[in-house]
Structure 1
Amino acid sequence: MRTITLDILDDNALNLLKDLELLKVIRLRRDNQPETFSTEDLVKKYKGSMVSQSKEEIDNQLESLRNEWE
């Protein structure tokens, strides 16, 4: 484990770090303001961001993305 210090320049960066903490990839230490995170926060954040698609549609999109790299 390594410890680094970051300067947060944008709130979006902090949101990304919070998401990584929820995934247990990193641990954030706060200087003076403890804040708790839950998976419910992620559910609220991403709820409705994906639409229902058939398996065939998803397969076609994946195949298209893969072909772009060739």
Structure 2
Amino acid sequence: MRTITLDILDDNAINLLKDLELLKIIRLRKDSVSENVTADDLVKKYKGSMVAQSKDEIDNQLENLRTEWE
């Protein structure tokens, strides 16, 4: 078995690679670069995405969401 690294130039290539994996010709693994995400990166990514709310406001929003599906 040999390991090689590919640069995907077109998203259609991913589908072709998945088909080869289903045929048990190759095995796909997750990119090791994406596994090296630090806590600081996550803080930068999500900082400011949530605003401070009281418990009552959150409870009201949850109740509204639940009743919308009924």
Q: TM-score, normalised by structure 1?
A: 0.51
Q: 1:57 corresponds to which letter in structure 2?
A: E
Name stretches of at least 5 consecutive residues in structure 2 with no aligned partner.
1-7, 12-28
Name stretches of at least 5 consecutive residues in structure 1 with no aligned partner.
1-6, 10-26
Deviation at residue 39 of structure 1 after TM alignment? 1.8
Q: Which position in structure 2 is the counterpart of 1:3?
A: none
Q: Deviations over 1:37-69 (max 9, x none)?
A: 212111100011111100000000000000001
Q: Which position in structure 1 is the counterpart of 2:16?
A: none
Q: Deviations over 1:11-38 (max 9, x none)?
A: xxxxxxxxxxxxxxxx7225xxx46321
Q: Which position in structure 2 is the counterpart of 1:29?
A: 31
The CA RMSD measured in Å over matched residues stands at 2.5
Return structure 1 stretches of 4+ with deviation > 2 angstroms: 27-30
Q: TM-score, normalised by structure 2?
A: 0.51
In 1, the alpha carbon distance for the partners of 2:69 and 2:52 equals 26
**What is the DSSP-based 3-state SS (H/G/I as helix, E as strand, rest coil) of the residue aligned with 1:61?**
helix
Q: Which position in structure 1 is the counterpart of 2:43?
A: 43
Q: Which position in structure 2 is the counterpart of 1:62?
A: 62
The structure with more radius of gyration: 2
TM alignment of 1:2-13, pairs within 5 A:
9=11
In 1, the alpha carbon distance for the partners of 2:62 and 2:37 equals 33
- Higher relative contact order at CA 8 Å, sep ≥6: structure 1 or structure 2? 1
